[in-house]
Amino acid sequence: MREKIIAANWKMNHLAEDLKKFFTELLAGYKAREEVSVVIAPASPYLARAAEMADGAERVFIAAQNMYCEKSGAFTGEISPSMVKDCGCRYVILGHSERRHIFGETDELIARKVKIALNYRLNPILCIGELLEEREDGKTEEVVSSQLNAVLPQLSPEEMLSVVVAYEPVWAIGTGRTATVEQAEEVHHLVRGIIGGAFGDEVAQRVTIQYGGSVKPENIDQLMAAPDIDGALVGGASLAAESFLRLINFKQ
């Protein structure tokens, strides 16, 4: 069985007090599930605090939402992989569509970030996904393939097994417009095929592929029932512990 990962991407939300409330409520209701990992990505000033709160909770991990691709040095405003690690993170979200489209991150930069994250034994959550006009122009496959092909050739099979892929159609992020299960599954199947083409089917079958884009308590069960959907990367519905707990407790 593949590991399932339900991840909270808080983006630029939640102060220290909100974080404390969230973890208190989460841990009061949380029961670890076999093969299901929980990942929480607060904003970077709160990573260490979040790691302390999650300490001792079975299969609950912290992720950074981004990091830079250099060890250290004159990069004002950035955080390094060793800092992410030092704050107690196991994961790092890389290539989120907001990083690509608001901050101009390129496939090349994202590939460098993935590589250095792996060197520091961080698990990258590599986000890919097409814009609405790309979908409407029938270019989803082309876009997703080229985003993956910017990274995959640089990885060994062992490294690929440490990467989580998150398919997030940009038109479904924060819009309330979720991809249908069929639309999502179609791309997840394609992504697994591309991984299989690069590393063989055995590796591809072990890689966790999350879906992201308006995941909520009302649609999590249908999404998680699809054969190639192994988890969710969740923004809006991850901010309150109650709704996030419902996502973690998706029906198998």
CB atoms within 10 A of CB 102: 9
Q: Side-chain half-sphere of 48: how many Cα atoms within 13 Å?
A: 5
Which residue, 39 or 117, is less far from ligand PGA as judged by CB?
A: 39
Least Å distance, CB 235 to ligand PGA, is: 3
Question: Which of 14, 168, 185, 188 does the annotation list as catalytic?
Answer: 168
Least Å distance, CB 103 to ligand PGA, is: 14
145 is in an annotated binding site: no
Tell me which amino acid residue 28 is.
Answer: A
138 is in an annotated binding site: no
CB atoms within 10 A of CB 59: 17
- At residue 3, what are phi and psi to the nearest 5 degrees? -65, 135
Q: Does 173 bind ligand PGA (CB under 6 A)?
A: yes
Report in angstroms the alpha-carbon separations of 231 from 99, 201, 234, 249.
21, 20, 10, 11
Which residue, 7 or 79, is less far from ligand PGA as judged by CB?
A: 7
Q: Does 220 bind ligand PGA (CB under 6 A)?
A: no
Find the helix or strand (DSSP H, E) in which 194 lies. helix 181-199
Alpha carbon distance 27, 53 (integer Å): 9
Alpha carbon distance 84, 72 (integer Å): 12
219 is in an annotated binding site: no
9 is in an annotated binding site: yes
Alpha carbon distance 2, 125 (integer Å): 15
Q: Does 140 bind ligand PGA (CB under 6 A)?
A: no
Q: Among this protein's residues, is 168 annotated catalytic? A: yes
Q: Does 174 bind ligand PGA (CB under 6 A)?
A: yes
CB atoms within 10 A of CB 61: 20
Report in angstroms the alpha-carbon separations of 208 from 3, 60, 63, 225.
6, 16, 16, 14
Q: Does 215 bind ligand PGA (CB under 6 A)?
A: yes
Q: Does 236 bind ligand PGA (CB under 6 A)?
A: yes
Least Å distance, CB 170 to ligand PGA, is: 9
Q: Please select the residue that binds ligand PGA; options are 105, 168, 185, 230, rule is CB under 6 A.
A: 168
Q: Please select the residue that binds ligand PGA; options are 9, 37, 140, 145, rule is CB under 6 A.
A: 9
Alpha carbon distance 12, 154 (integer Å): 31
Stretch that binds ligand PGA, among 29-37, 73-81, 84-92, 231-239 (CB under 6 A): 231-239
Q: Does 212 bind ligand PGA (CB under 6 A)?
A: yes
Q: Among this protein's residues, is 189 annotated catalytic? A: no
The residue number whose beta carbon is nearest to ligand PGA equals: 235
Which of helix, strand or coil describes residue 111? helix
Residues at the interface with ligand PGA (CB under 6 A):
9, 168, 173-174, 212-215, 233-237
Binding-site residues for substrate = 9-11, 174, 214, 235-236
Catalytic residues: 96, 168
